[in-house]
A and B are shown apart, each in its own frame.
Chain A
């Protein structure tokens, strides 16, 4: 059956039926492929076309091949771009620090309760993202118990606050992207052959050395996939900055959103989103070369 796609040999058996077989995968793929080309590939590419137009929302936009939009947009919003990368990187690091022991615990120590724990990790994310982030607003509010507790143990100064700060935005991103890190980490730790670690300790490696020289390198694909799957969407995030921060914490997503929907300066918005997409494609191209598409897409859904 796996050779069904091979060209039908003339005169061998029933050529008509073989040709129909060869057609089958094309028929299967066509509708889904058409959808992705029409509503993903072309729209993403057409951002370049939109970005080079000039005009205004009332009189319409015309194509003028205004390449200057790119240096202009980069010059005006470099602050938000740099902030996006910084916030996304901090959140990714925090996700790793929180998720690695959790994933290790589930893979190595949870035994037959593994599936239950995995379910517990994704369960919170079946409530609405917006509702969840509003809940963080409630938690971090100025007279809430989190702020009170931090003040009483001296971790926050008396006039300090959490809501509307950089800390709150990064914490929000960390929370909302944690499963993207935890699940790939779990997948690679679960596959890891425990006997290799035992062999290392039998050969007089300390537990810490065994962890550093055996466990970590073997978990590298999961660490890598988790980092990508957290970092890339986090760059484009704007919900957390919007709900937990102020305009001083705005990221590039906030700019794209407001330029497209509020200000309706489509070329600048399209230019910024095209820049983000190009960066993503570059990162992905490196990733695919390193670990392959399969592993990446499987980690995405786990």
Chain B
């Protein structure tokens, strides 16, 4: 039985949720809006008038293209390495029982729970101790370290939702372990691998804190924006941020659709025994 008070409370929750979502999106609107701002002087804080000129020339600021390209290649390399390493760690954690499983599982999780400033400081101290040059390679090493955990947890979730019997069937039919992994397991967890790739790419390209500690003289997109924030961030930064957002969101929707199709396929396999 729903009283008037109940309905009022439901309405309250809904209004609150809508307000919270608006709050989440306010800065995003600002970022997009000010990418179209014909700003005067160095600062891009007050709205003047609409222009497309920054969109026509997104790299029209010194050093921005270099920093952005660095960020893209670092994120791509990081994703490649972290996903290759992480997929196999996830496989070992879910599909096999072995001593030390719990310890490895905890070690994979720990970097996710460590404040970023500690990760950055620890790596910088370690690089200094080893006399290892800071820069591009040092950044990639750091990014692989802190994205690895996200990759493992994402792929692990997909593996655990998967039907073991298909793999067993392949082995009963004479496939060895490696063939089974290559031909059955990997294709089945492909949507999980894609999601993990997307996640590690997005985390890497956005990282400021750890990169700041390990970059030396190398520039990346977040480092460029932070450096520029003292003298006024150029509108081109808003253009690139908006482009990145659109691309990542498009990929996310594509992945969501793919995961849904894979889930339907799993359900079919369960209902009609292979």
A residues lining the B interface (CB < 8 Å): 1-6, 21-22, 24-29, 31-33, 35-37, 39-44, 46-47, 49-50, 98-99, 101-102, 104-106, 109, 115, 117, 119-121, 123-124, 126-132, 134-139, 141, 143-144, 175, 178, 207, 228-229, 232-233, 235-239, 243, 252-253, 256-257, 260-261, 266, 269-270, 273, 276-277, 280, 284, 288, 293, 296-298, 300-301
Query: A254 — nearest CB in chain B belongs to which residue?
Result: B117
* Docked complex Cα distance between A24 and B105 (Å): 17
- Residue B52, interface by CB 8 Å: no
Q: A124-B25, A130-B222, A261-B212 are in contact. Are A269 and B229 (CB under 8 A)?
A: no
Where chain B touches its partner, the secondary structure class is: helix
Query: A172 — nearest CB in chain B belongs to which residue?
Result: B27
- Residue B267, interface by CB 8 Å: no
- Residue B95, interface by CB 8 Å: yes
Q: Assess whether A128 is in contact with B117, with CB atoms less than 8 Å apart.
A: no
Q: Assess whether A119 is in contact with B86, with CB atoms less than 8 Å apart.
A: no
Q: Assess whether A266 is in contact with B125, with CB atoms less than 8 Å apart.
A: yes
Q: Assess whether B13 is in contact with A46, with CB atoms less than 8 Å apart.
A: no
Contacts of A276 in B (CB 8 A): 115, 117-118
* Docked complex Cα distance between A33 and B89 (Å): 8
* Docked complex Cα distance between A184 and B24 (Å): 17
CB distance from A81 to the nearest CB of B (A): 13
Q: Assess whether A261 is in contact with B171, with CB atoms less than 8 Å apart.
A: no
B residues lining the A interface (CB < 8 Å): 5-6, 9-10, 12-14, 16-17, 20-21, 23-28, 30-31, 34, 44-46, 85-86, 88-89, 91-93, 95-99, 102, 104-126, 128-129, 141-142, 144-145, 148-150, 152-154, 157, 164, 167-168, 171, 177, 199, 202, 205-206, 208-209, 212-213, 221-222, 225-226, 229, 233, 237-238, 241-242, 244-245, 248-249, 252-253, 256
CB distance from A291 to the nearest CB of B (A): 13
Query: B252 — nearest CB in chain A belongs to which residue?
Result: A119
Residue from B85, B164, B249 having most chain A Cβ neighbours under 10 A: B85
Q: Which of B14, B30, B85, B119 contacts A138 (CB 8 A)?
A: B30
Contacts of B248 in A (CB 8 A): 126
The count of A-to-B residue pairs whose CB atoms sit within 8 angstroms is 288
Q: Assess whether A46 is in contact with B117, with CB atoms less than 8 Å apart.
A: no
* Docked complex Cα distance between A219 and B264 (Å): 29
CB distance from B257 to the nearest CB of A (A): 11
Can you report 23 A-B residue pairs in the complex whose CB atoms are below 8 A from each other? A1-B95, A27-B88, A28-B92, A32-B86, A32-B88, A36-B148, A39-B142, A43-B123, A105-B14, A119-B252, A128-B222, A130-B225, A134-B229, A175-B23, A175-B24, A178-B24, A233-B115, A253-B209, A257-B117, A260-B124, A280-B115, A298-B153, A301-B112
Q: Assess whether A36 is in contact with B115, with CB atoms less than 8 Å apart.
A: no
Q: Assess whether A280 is in contact with B16, with CB atoms less than 8 Å apart.
A: no
Contacts of B30 in A (CB 8 A): 135, 138-139
Query: B108 — nearest CB in chain A belongs to which residue?
Result: A36
Query: A206 — nearest CB in chain B belongs to which residue?
Result: B5
CB distance from B215 to the nearest CB of A (A): 10
What are the 7 closest A-B residue pairs judged by CB atoms, nearest first? A236-B115, A43-B126, A105-B17, A135-B27, A28-B92, A32-B85, A43-B122
Q: Assess whether A300 is in contact with B112, with CB atoms less than 8 Å apart.
A: yes
Query: B144 — nearest CB in chain A belongs to which residue?
Result: A35
Q: Assess whether A273 is in contact with B256, with CB atoms less than 8 Å apart.
A: no
Q: Assess whether B13 is in contact with A104, with CB atoms less than 8 Å apart.
A: yes
Q: A25-B96, A105-B14, A273-B118 are in contact. Are A124 and B24 (CB under 8 A)?
A: yes
Query: A22 — nearest CB in chain B belongs to which residue?
Result: B98
CB distance from A12 to the nearest CB of B (A): 17
Residue from A41, A121, A128 having most chain B Cβ neighbours under 10 A: A128
Q: Assess whether B144 is in contact with A33, with CB atoms less than 8 Å apart.
A: no
CB distance from A43 to the nearest CB of B (A): 4
Q: Assess whether A102 is in contact with B256, with CB atoms less than 8 Å apart.
A: no
Query: B21 — nearest CB in chain A belongs to which residue?
Result: A120
Q: Assess whether A29 is in contact with B121, with CB atoms less than 8 Å apart.
A: no
Q: Assess whether B249 is in contact with A28, with CB atoms less than 8 Å apart.
A: no
* Docked complex Cα distance between A115 and B16 (Å): 19
* Docked complex Cα distance between A297 and B109 (Å): 6
Q: Assess whether A126 is in contact with B245, with CB atoms less than 8 Å apart.
A: yes
Q: Assess whether A29 is in contact with B45, with CB atoms less than 8 Å apart.
A: no
Q: Assess whether A101 is in contact with B153, with CB atoms less than 8 Å apart.
A: no
Contacts of A266 in B (CB 8 A): 125, 128
Q: Assess whether A21 is in contact with B233, with CB atoms less than 8 Å apart.
A: no
Query: A61 — nearest CB in chain B belongs to which residue?
Result: B128
Query: A201 — nearest CB in chain B belongs to which residue?
Result: B1
Q: Assess whether A24 is in contact with B144, with CB atoms less than 8 Å apart.
A: no
Contacts of A126 in B (CB 8 A): 202, 206, 244-245, 248-249, 252
Q: Assess whether B24 is in contact with A46, with CB atoms less than 8 Å apart.
A: no
Q: Assess whether B97 is in contact with A3, with CB atoms less than 8 Å apart.
A: yes
Contacts of B14 in A (CB 8 A): 105, 109
Given A39-B126, A134-B225, 11 more A-B residue pairs with CB atoms under 8 Å apart are A5-B97, A31-B88, A36-B108, A40-B122, A47-B121, A47-B122, A126-B248, A139-B26, A253-B209, A260-B121, A301-B112
